[in-house]
Amino acid sequence: MSKPEIGIGLVGSGFMGRCHANAFRAVSGLFDVPGEPRLRVLADADDALATRAAQALGFERGTGDWRALVADEAVDIVAITAPNVLHAPIAHAAIAVGKTVYCEKPLSTTAALALEMTQAAEAAGVVTLVGFNFLRNPMIKLAQQIIASGEIGEITGFRGRHAENYMADPDAPHSFRTNPQGGGALADIGSHIISMARYLLGPITEVQADSRTFHATRPTAPRSTRREPVKVDDMTHALVRFENGASGSLEANWAATARTMDLSWEITGTKGALAFTQERMNDLQLWSATPGRSGYIRIEAGPAHPPYGAFCPAPGHHLGFNDLKIIEVAGLLEAHAGLGATGPDFREAYEVQRTVEAMQRSDEERAWISL
């Protein structure tokens, strides 16, 4: 019996749009998903751009009007990879017509808007998923299992950072990422390390943050000689306390010279420790207490760590960034078909956004903020 078709509408065809399109094209060849994704409509900023991108990415048609995509009866899932300020209006329109919404992080530009989106989705009973794809790594799942099993004892500390260098150049231009409405290193990549900390240790209850802007002005556009002030953080450090009693620190830094994808952390427990960096995403370090041989051992991703085996039957061949999106999309299609919840949903992404905002307030007020 052939599987039902699931119509995909994708808004945006940049870095993440291409990543989503790749995942929707690939997923049914790797996972036994409950429906066959059909790439129906791609929306972008104008008709010409959308038509070109639709052809390049395998969609049936393109439109310069995301409202037409949302209203299109052939679209069942609305995937949002447009700039952050567009997430809320697109999501609300999709929720209003009962469609599944797959939105990139950060969920919105403020926690208040993220809460409105969450409440609208919950009231309408639609499936939601937010693109915290780094949580889909089998090594992260393994870390969560090791922590939950008690193997490394009671968790006392989390030291995490998301550091990259894409804004290290003072001539890197403004973009939606530097828009004071929801931009900055903390919202852009700090949201990833916050979601990771919450996934592994649970809720964060208190924060004390310190933000810095290294480059006071940036060009208004690529190659422009006109410069405008930067009103968002390049780096934020925060002390954090968790509901489970652990404490630690988080850093978001998009001007971290020498770092390319250092979404990394070390978790300390009373009996052991774990360490991870996305720059070596197929490795999880587990501290072993064997007397005379104590030290970190490297656990390498392989078929013993589902769903690695869906991609490759042999260890050592390694998953990549785009594979995490394919795993995420497999979960999305299951949730869309009513076969259990996938996460993180809008509610969880709202909690992440609330934490981002608490850190921003803490920096402004130079004070600890309770969540």
Ligand X SMILES: NC(=O)c1ccc[n+]([C@@H]2O[C@H](COP(=O)([O-])OP(=O)(O)OC[C@H]3O[C@@H](n4cnc5c(N)ncnc54)[C@H](O)[C@@H]3O)[C@@H](O)[C@H]2O)c1
Residues forming contacts to ligand X in the complex (CB under 6 A) are 11-17, 43-45, 66, 81-84, 86, 104-105, 131, 133, 188
Q: Are strands 247-253 and 155-163 parallel, antiparallel or unpaired?
A: parallel
Q: Which is nearer to ligand X, 188 or 363 (CB)?
A: 188
Q: Which is nearer to ligand X, 109 or 211 (CB)?
A: 109
> Least distance to ligand X from the beta carbon of 176, Å?
7
Give Cβ neighbours of residue 230 (< 8 Å, ≥ 6 apart).
Answer: 174, 178, 213, 215, 216, 217, 218
> Least distance to ligand X from the beta carbon of 256, Å?
16
Report the residue closest to ligand X, judged by CB: 14
Give Cβ neighbours of residue 35 (< 8 Å, ≥ 6 apart).
Answer: 3, 4, 5, 6, 333, 336, 337
Q: Which is nearer to ligand X, 133 or 253 (CB)?
A: 133
> Least distance to ligand X from the beta carbon of 144, Å?
19
Q: Which is nearer to ligand X, 45 or 168 (CB)?
A: 45
Give Cβ neighbours of residue 295 (< 8 Å, ≥ 6 apart).
Answer: 287, 288
210 near 262, Cβ under 8 Å?
no
> Least distance to ligand X from the beta carbon of 14, Å?
2
Q: Which is nearer to ligand X, 252 or 273 (CB)?
A: 252
Hey, what are 126's tokens?
A: 């639609």
- Cα angle 98-34-342, degrees, rounded to a multiple of 5: 60
Residue 39 CA, chain-centre distance (Å), reads 22
> Least distance to ligand X from the beta carbon of 62, Å?
10
